[in-house]
Amino acid sequence: MAANLREGSKWTGFPVFLNTGWKAGCLFLFFLFGPLLRLSPALAQDFNPQEVALKLWEKLSSVTSLEANFVQYYYSTQVEEPVAGRGKVFIRRPDRMRWDYSSPEKQIFLIKGELLWIYFPEEKQLIKKEANYELQAGEILGLLAGNVNLLEKYEVSASPFPTNQKNVYQIRLTPREPGQYSYLLLEIDRKSYLLSTAILFEATGGKLEYHFSQFKLNHKMSDELFEVKIPADCEIIEGD
């Protein structure tokens, strides 16, 4: 969602917020790899990228719940300085997802069935819209929630890139159908087959990067976790 929601810009299908003038610090920027990073030892070994993609999808689609910390960056062709966001993501399959942003500003991105809420507590503003299939099958949401068969949606190949991680697989996903992203680079833990890094390359030149850590799988998540208490004086914006 690297777009100003209030100005009716295109919805991108994952939680990235750009605030132009009215919400400073809501653009999450991709951090370009520095020269000090080294190539992962995993890159020197042969592996089947299609098999890795299949095991990643099977892992994420088989869990009942998932919790993880995330750090998110975005680089835009129109912005010079990178800004980072971070927080926690909670997923309870099949149709519950919550992203809690703790910085640079508190935000809540909530999917509950076919309903999407984006809540800015400090601004006392709530945006409501339909959480349609296109949104829930978007690159990050669909990937992390296990909603998309990667082999059906993407062409998969091995693709080494600089990293400071050890014991990982690195693959490239190229969408079979043209869309917002030209391709994705994924870094997957060799033991757990969980996603540690995802980099999304926009056709327009922008880049998104996510880092996930401290996964907790198959923990009980209460219904209350997927509720948001809205104050009586909250401004509510509905529609596209």
Q: Give residues with Cβ within 8 angstroms of 15, minimum separation 6.
A: 1, 99, 101, 107, 109, 118, 140
Backbone angles phi, psi at 152, to 5 degrees: -80, -35
Radius of gyration of the chain, Cα coordinates, nearest whole angstrom: 18
Q: In degrees, to the nearest 5, what angle opens at C-alpha 137 toward C-alphas 237 and 135?
A: 15
What confidence category does residue 45 fall into, taking pLDDT thresholds of 50, 70 and 90?
A: low
- Look over the chain and give the mean of its residue pLDDT values, rounded to a whole number: 83
**CA distance linking residue 158 with residue 43, whole number of Å:** 9
Mean pLDDT of all residues in 2-14: 38
- Among 160, 124, 156, smallest CA distance to 53 is for 156
- The percent of residues above 70 in pLDDT, for the chain, comes to 81
What confidence category does residue 9 fall into, taking pLDDT thresholds of 50, 70 and 90?
A: very low
- Among 157, 206, 147, smallest CA distance to 29 is for 206
Which domains does the chain carry?
13-238 (2.50.20.10)
- Could you report the per-residue pLDDT of 71-130, keeping only the tens digit for each? 999 988 887 777 799 999 999 999 999 999 999 999 999 999 999 999 999 999 999 999
CB 169 within 8 A of CB 47: yes
Q: In degrees, to the nearest 5, what angle opens at C-alpha 161 toward C-alphas 159 and 163?
A: 135
pLDDT of residue 31 exceeding 50: no
